[in-house]
Chain A
C-alpha cells in the first residue's frame, strides 16, 4: 500500500512539474523564433495556423485572435534606440515615415498591456492621424505631460515601463519579404526625470 502511494505521489509530482515547466515555456515564447528590426520585434508565427502544438501554445498567449502576416504585421518595442527600457518618467522622440503598408499605427501600452489610464486619449498615432512634414516624415513626442507645440503626441502618463506596438495592415510585399529591413520609427530618449525636453 505504501508502495502504491509512493508511485501515485511520484506521478502527481511529475505531472505537476511538467505542467509548471510548460507554463514557463509558454510564457517565454514571445522571444522565440522572432524577427528583430533594431529595437522592434515581431513573431511570424502569430496569426498563422500553427506548425506544431508548442508554437500554437505560445501564440495563444501572445497573439490570440491576431491576423496572419499577409493581413497584418505586429512589431513591438520595449526599449529606446540605446537599448534602455521605455519609462514614463522620460521624454522620447519618435521619428519616421509612413510604414510600408496600406494602413499603419503605433500604439502605446502601459506595463499591464492595456491602454494607459490617463484621460488624455493620446494612445496612438496612425496613417490617418499623424501630422507629417512637407517631406512626408513625422516626429512625435512621447511624454507624460502634454508637450507645448507638438503636433504628434503619445501620452505615457500612468504607463510605467511601457511598450509600443506598430501595426502594419496589408503590408507591402517587399516589406513582408524583409521584415528585418523595414524602416520602423526610431525611438530616442530626449530627457529623463526633472530634465527638460530639448
Chain B
C-alpha cells in the first residue's frame, strides 16, 4: 500500500479510536460504578443499598459530602418495571431522588418540595409508560441507578434520618 493511502487509513483509525473511546467512556464509568455498589455489601439489583455516613476513610465516590447520606439502587428493567417508594423527610430538610441512565445522563429528579414527593414518593420506573400505572418515570436504558440523598445536619439527627430512609424501597414490579 502506498504511504499516502496508509496515512489515510491511519487518520480514519485515529478518528474512530477517538470517537469510540469518547462514546464508550460514560458507559464504562457507569458500569464500573454500578459493580462497585453491587459488590459493596449484600445487595442485589433492584434493591436499595443504604450507604454508611461519609467519613475521611470513604473511598467509594470522589468528593463525597460529609453532610449527606446516600441510598442507591442499581436497577435492571429487563424483567419488567421497578417500583420506587420513599417517605417524605419528616425533618422538612432537602431530600431528592435522582435517576441516571446507563450512559450517566441524569434523566429525572424529584425533591421533597415537588408535589409527587411531598406525601411520600411512589413511582413506577419503566421503559415505556402504560396508562393507569400512576406516576411513571421512563428510563431511556434498561439499566441505571436511582440515588436518594438526605441531609444529615448533626450526629444526633442521624439515627432518625437513617431509620426513615431505610423505609425507601426499590423492588421489581412485573
Chain A interfacial positions (CB closer than 8 Å to B): 3, 6-7, 10-23, 25-26, 47-50, 53-54, 56-57, 59-61, 64-68, 70-71, 102-103, 105, 107, 109, 113-119, 121, 123-124, 126, 128-129, 165, 167, 169-170
- A contact patch SS: mixed
For A3, give the chain B residue with the smallest CB separation. B1
B139 to chain A, nearest CB (A): 13
Inter-subunit contact B104/A13 (CB<8 Å) = no
Chain B interface (Cβ within 8 Å of chain A)? 1, 6, 9-23, 25-26, 29-30, 33, 54-59, 61-67, 93-94, 96, 98, 100, 103-107, 109, 111, 113, 145, 147, 149, 151, 153-154
Return the chain A residue nearest B26 by Cβ. Answer: A60
In the complex, A13 Cα to B105 Cα: how many Å? 31
Complex CA–CA separation, A101 to B23 (angstroms): 35
Cα A22 to Cα B66 in complex, Å, equals: 33
A66–B64 Cα distance when bound, in Å, is: 11
Interface contact tally, CB-CB below 8 A: 172
Do residues B16 and A114 form an inter-chain contact, with CB atoms below 8 A? no
- B94 close to A102 (CB less than 8 A): yes
In the bound complex, do residue B94 and residue A170 qualify as a contact, i.e. CB atoms below 8 Å apart?
yes
Give the most central of B9, B17, B54: most A CB within 10 Å: B17
How far is it, in angstroms, between the C-alpha of A107 and the C-alpha of B54 when the chains are bound? 12
Q: Which 10 A-B pairs have the closest CB atoms?
A: A18-B17, A14-B13, A22-B21, A18-B18, A15-B17, A128-B153, A60-B26, A113-B62, A115-B56, A60-B29
In Å, the complex CA distance between A167 and B63 comes to 11
Interchain CB contact (< 8 A) of B59 among A48, A71, A114, A121 = A114
Q: Are A48 and B106 in contact (CB under 8 A)?
A: yes
User: Within the complex, what minimum Cβ distance (angstroms) separates A80 from chain B?
Assistant: 20
In the assembled complex, the CB of B79 is this many whole angstroms from the nearest CB of chain A, namely 24
Output the residue of A26, A53, A115, A167 with the most chain B CB within 10 A. Answer: A115
Q: Are B56 and A14 in contact (CB under 8 A)?
A: no
B72 CB, min distance to chain A CBs, angstroms: 8
| Given A53-B22, A113-B62: A14 touches B29 (CB 8 Å cut-off) | no
CB pair B10–A13 under 8 Å, yes or no, is yes
